[in-house]
Amino acid sequence: MKTSKVKTDSITDEISRAFDYEFTGVSTFEPIEIPTIDRVSTIGDEWGIGLIVGPSGTGKSILLGEFGTESPGEWNPDMAVCSHFEDAEDAEDRLSAVGFNSIPSWLKPYHVLSNGEKFRADLARQLDDGAVIDEYTSVVDRNVARSCSVAINKYVKRKGLKNLVFASCHYDIIDWLEPDWIFDTNTKTCEDRRLLRRPDIEVEVLPCGVEAWSMFSEHHYLTGDINSGAHCWIAIWNGRPIGFSSVISMPSGSLKRAWREHRTVVLPDFQGLGVGVRLSESIGEILLSQGKRYFSKVAHPKLGAYREASPKWRPTSKNKIGGRNDYIKRIEQGVGFGGFSEDLMLRHAERDCFSHEYIGL
């Protein structure tokens, strides 16, 4: 039995009298405990992710406190979000781990972020062994909740993190977060879910006109422009557009029927589900089926690393040995920069990029 105590005053007196509720300032309640036998057999001493779920007021936060204390970090309003991490690699790793993939937003101060971005940024700083996280997904759109849950599960498994516990009033995240165990404060039951896996994500990829880019252009981290001759596709999930990809022809004296990836964007609420990678590869399959070749050059370290390890992608002779030489040529020839400033093009021209051809399975 636990108690809490407040000072009574005219307001507490009037409310208790109005509702005929005897109140002396002291409240008592029985905290929920996971039964010892269930805790040993279901939870054990080690797990990846645990989830306490149930309606508001059923004791989730009190039970969560048995596993530790939540420690959200403070945000300096004069520093960029990414500057609150150990180093650039740590920032990239953790922010990507929660599906927060907007580079421009990484460079903003925390207080100007959207609610969804703040939610992801807070989570990125808390993910560690033994972390406890209350009110998980309570303040965000359910699409953000699902995509973030998938991204967190991947990160926890990849890093081998142990004994994280989340508390939430939302049951819809269970299949996406894939916790090793769940304690439901409504039914007072504990369930082992280590052998269960999340449902497949079925995304439909449809051809579309270049005008569809307007729904995604503001989310491209470099430019909102697109080649008017691009061939475009849109990704649909549950009847809703969530991603866009396009290709343009790649004229070459030595390559025939070659095309290269032009613009690929996934809306922020759906980042972390792995849609971008699969969408790009779906376009590759479409082009291969048409007897065409599909090339892509990217600077993003994680996407580049994925393609380096994937049997579906073959490194080209330009892989990791130079930047965007085509940018240099365009600058020297005085050709338009397609929405990029000359300074930006020069900076990208000097970066090493990952260059691959999609060869499929």
Residue 331 has pLDDT above 60, yes or no: no
Q: What is the pTM of this model?
A: 0.68
Instruction: Give the rounded percent of residues in the chain with a pLDDT score beyond 90.
Output: 44
Residue 143 has pLDDT above 90, yes or no: no
Q: Are 306 and 213 in a shared domain?
A: yes
Q: Are 282 and 223 in a shared domain?
A: yes
Q: Are 167 and 237 in a shared domain?
A: no
The answer to which of 148-157, 197-206, 290-299 has the lowest mean pLDDT is 197-206
Q: Are 81 and 165 in a shared domain?
A: yes
Quick check: is 198 in a domain? no
What is the SS3 assignment for 318? coil
Residue 67 has pLDDT above 60, yes or no: yes
In angstroms, the CA 142 to CA 268 distance is 13
Q: Which residue has the higher pLDDT, 358 or 302?
A: 358
Last residue of a domain, one of 158, 192, 226: 192
User: CA 97, 99, 105, 108: dihedral to nearest 10 degrees?
Assistant: -40
- Please report the DSSP string for 42-92 in residue order: II-S--SEEEEE--TTSSHHHHHTTT----PPP--TTS-GGGGSSSHHHHH
Amino acid 102: pLDDT: 82
- The predicted-structure confidence for 8-32, as pLDDT tens digits, reads as follows 999 888 888 888 888 888 887 666 6
Q: How confident is the model at residue 292 (pLDDT cuts 50, 70, 90)?
A: very high
Per the structure block, which two tokens stand in for 242? 């969530």
Whole-number average pLDDT of the chain: 85
In angstroms, the CA 219 to CA 224 distance is 8
Quick check: is 197 in a domain? no
- Average pLDDT (198-210) is 88
Per the structure block, which two tokens stand in for 158? 């990849």
Q: Are 258 and 351 in a shared domain?
A: yes
Amino acid 347: pLDDT: 56
Helices 301-309 and 88-97: crossing angle in degrees, nearest 10, is: 70
- Average pLDDT (34-49) is 68
Last residue of a domain, one of 135, 162, 192: 192
Quick check: is 176 in a domain? yes
Amino acid 338: pLDDT: 47
Quick check: is 116 in a domain? yes
Nearest to 160 by CA among 127, 191, 122: 127
Nearest to 265 by CA among 209, 333, 197, 212: 212
Domain encompassing residue 114: 33-192
CATH of the domain at 228: 3.40.630.30
Q: Are 9 and 122 in a shared domain?
A: no
Q: Are 15 and 119 in a shared domain?
A: no
- Average pLDDT (273-293) is 93
Amino acid 264: pLDDT: 93
**Domain count within the chain:** 3
Q: Are 128 and 213 in a shared domain?
A: no
Per the structure block, which two tokens stand in for 292? 């065409």
CB 151 within 8 A of CB 276: no
- Average pLDDT (26-51) is 71
- Average pLDDT (270-284) is 90
Of the ranges 38-42, 235-239, 250-254, 319-323, the best mean pLDDT one = 235-239
Quick check: is 326 in a domain? yes
In angstroms, the CA 318 to CA 297 distance is 9
- The predicted-structure confidence for 164-175, as pLDDT tens digits, reads as follows 999 999 999 999
